[in-house]
């Protein structure tokens, strides 16, 4: 057991996070296994099961429970299985969105010198 006050608090926080993360990790695992079963059995709701699994993986990655690359790898494997299982069901789900790369916003001039330099270059 820790003797230091800050470590005692850190242990409490870690326990709370562990329990919270467990829910998201478990939900993602369950959704993926249900999607795999649906793909294997070729059920009519295969596409919905895959979408639920992708959503659960995205949620877990967003919250930091899973590494984003780990979630991407699992989604890729699911889509691969879906594609190999059947031609018509293999089309990419509309709900899955590609990441859009936004251009960085211009920073505001924080000093008078920078503002003057910027103004002189425009003229």
What's the pLDDT tens digit per position in 8-50? 999 999 999 999 999 999 999 999 999 999 999 998 999 999 9
What's the pLDDT tens digit per position in 92-115? 555 555 555 566 566 555 566 666
The full set of domain ranges for the chain reads: 5-92
Under 8 Å between Cβ of 62 and 81: no
DSSP 8-state symbol, 4? S
Q: Provide the CATH number for the domain formed by 5-92 in this structure.
A: 1.20.58.110
Looking at residue 89, its pLDDT comes to 47
SS (H, E, C) 34-62: HHHHHHHHCCCCHHHHHHHHHHHHHHHHH
19-52 b/e with 16+ CB inside 10 Å = b? eeeeebeebbeebbebbbebbeeeeeebbebbbb
Under 8 Å between Cβ of 94 and 65: no
Give the pLDDT band of residue 1 (cuts 50, 70, 90): confident
Cα–Cα dist 61/34, whole Å: 19
């Amino acid at each position: 057991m820790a003797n230091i006050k800050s470590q005692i608090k850190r242990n409490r926080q870690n326990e709370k996070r562990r329990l919270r993360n467990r829910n998201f990790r478990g939900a993602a695992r369950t959704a993926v296994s249900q999607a795999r079963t649906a793909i294997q059995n070729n059920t009519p709701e295969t596409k919905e099961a895959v979408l639920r699994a992708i959503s659960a993986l995205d949620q877990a990655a967003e919250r930091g429970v899973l590494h984003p690359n780990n979630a991407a790898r699992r989604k890729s494997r699911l889509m691969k299985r879906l594609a190999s299982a059947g031609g018509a069901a293999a089309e990419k789900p509309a709900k899955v969105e590609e990441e859009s790369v936004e251009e960085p916003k211009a920073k505001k001039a924080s000093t008078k010198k920078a503002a003057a330099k910027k103004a002189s270059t425009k003229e």
